[in-house]
Amino acid sequence: MTALAGRSIVVTGAAAGLGRAITLRLATDGAHVVAVDLRSSTETVDAVRAAGGSAEAIEADATSSADVERVFTAAAAPTGRVDAVVNNAGRFGGSSLLDTTDEEWDAYLDINLRTAFVMTRAAVRVMLGQEERDGVRGRIVNMASQLGITGPPGALTYSVAKAGVIQLTRQVAVDYGREGILVNAIAPGRIITGDHPGERDYLDHGTIDAATEFSLMRTPFGRLGVPDDIAAAAAYLVSDDCRFVSGALLPVDGGWTAY
């Protein structure tokens, strides 16, 4: 496919899980993907190249303005543009209110919300300086969560941070829409990446732990999500087909948040 041919796209959290699947999908659709992660994204980039796509890995902390500036300089180098950014880096976890320390609050807000803020600010700065293509200067996709809509038991900092990501999305879409920047968010449901406790057993042997069984029972569509479900949503939101959708939250959760 060549739907994204000639496009330069930055994906954070690209070393694993959803970020890896998104990177593979966007590169397969023809984009050059800058794969950003705290740790090495070499495996992701090798998989892209093995599939005939184009990607480069940059180790960077998406909470750091200096690191993020380095990322955008590299991403804009080949074409002078950054066409889209997928702010995917994040981490599930947290506690209930009385168990939440000041340090935990800062850490989860940083990784789940500050990352999106720092990346979005840098993206908008670059995008404002580039020409429109069919009325669009750039597209930004933020990874929220179904848990930014519904409050899960015992994950205060995560759910508050993801709710912030949803509001950041709306606010930036409103403030920069007239400049040709589209900003949207994805709210994944429970997605089985194989990287979290119990998931490898489920994928390899069909063994289901209590948390996974609850997620399955709670999902109206009757299966759990897979990373390609999220990659497909991201591929639409960064594509030319997405031209009048902005400030939106797309749940990709098999209907979890429908009731």
Ligand X SMILES: NC(=O)c1ccc[n+]([C@@H]2O[C@H](COP(=O)([O-])OP(=O)(O)OC[C@H]3O[C@@H](n4cnc5c(N)ncnc54)[C@H](O)[C@@H]3O)[C@@H](O)[C@H]2O)c1
Give me the active site residues, please.
158
Which lies closer to ligand X via its Cβ, residue 28 or residue 142? 142
Residue type, 90: G
Q: Which of 232, 231, 236, 240 is nearest to 248 (CA)?
A: 236
Smallest distance, ligand X to C-beta of residue 78, A: 21
Q: Is 121 in the site for ligand X (CB under 6 A)?
A: no
Q: Is 31 in the site for ligand X (CB under 6 A)?
A: no
Q: Which amino acid is at 50?
A: A
**Residues 23, 55 contacting (CB under 8 angstroms):** yes
Q: Which of 29, 37, 83, 229 binds ligand X (CB under 6 A)?
A: 37
Task: Return the structure tokens found at 115.
Answer: 């990352």
Neighbours of 66 (CB within 10 A): 9
Q: Based on the shown chain and the rule CB under 6 A, indicate whether residue 17 belongs to the binding site for ligand X.
A: yes
Binding mask 174-203 for ligand X (x = CB under 6 A): --------------x-xx-x-x--------
Q: In 113-131, which positions are buried (b, 16+ CB within 10 angstroms) versus exposed (e)?
A: bbbbbbbbebbbebbeebe
233 scored as a contact of ligand X (CB under 6 A): no
Binding residues for ligand X, rule CB under 6 A, total 28
Q: Work out how close the CB of 178 gets to ligand X at its nearest, in angstroms, rounded to a whole number.
A: 29
- Enumerate residues 50-79 that contact ligand X by CB under 6 A: 61-63
Among 47, 70, 74, 92, binds ligand X (CB under 6 A): 92
Interaction of residue 218 with ligand X, rule CB under 6 A: no
- Cβ(188)–Cβ(252) under 8 Å? yes
The reply to whether 44 sits near ligand X by the rule CB under 6 A is: no
With CA atoms as reference, report the closest residue to 230 among 200, 187, 166, 196. Answer: 187
Per CB under 6 A, does 143 bind ligand X? yes
CA–CA separation, 218 vs 192, rounded Å? 15
Distance in Å, CB of 90 to ligand X, minimum: 2
User: By CB under 6 A, is residue 229 in contact with ligand X?
Assistant: no
Gap between the Cα atoms of 67 and 245, Å rounded: 30
Strands (E), the chain: 8-12, 32-37, 54-59, 84-87, 138-143, 181-188, 249-252
Sheet holding 138-143, edge to edge: 54-59, 32-37, 8-12, 84-87, 138-143, 181-188, 249-252
Q: Does 159 bind ligand X (CB under 6 A)?
A: no
Confirm or reject binding of residue 83 to ligand X (CB under 6 A). no
**Binding range to ligand X, per CB under 6 A, among 90-98, 133-141, 149-157, 176-184:** 90-98
Q: Smaller CB distance to ligand X: residue 36 or 136?
A: 36
Nearest approach in angstroms of CB 32 to ligand X is 19
In the complex, which residues of this chain contact ligand X (CB under 6 A)?
12-13, 15-19, 36-39, 61-63, 88-92, 111, 115, 143, 145, 188, 190-191, 193, 195
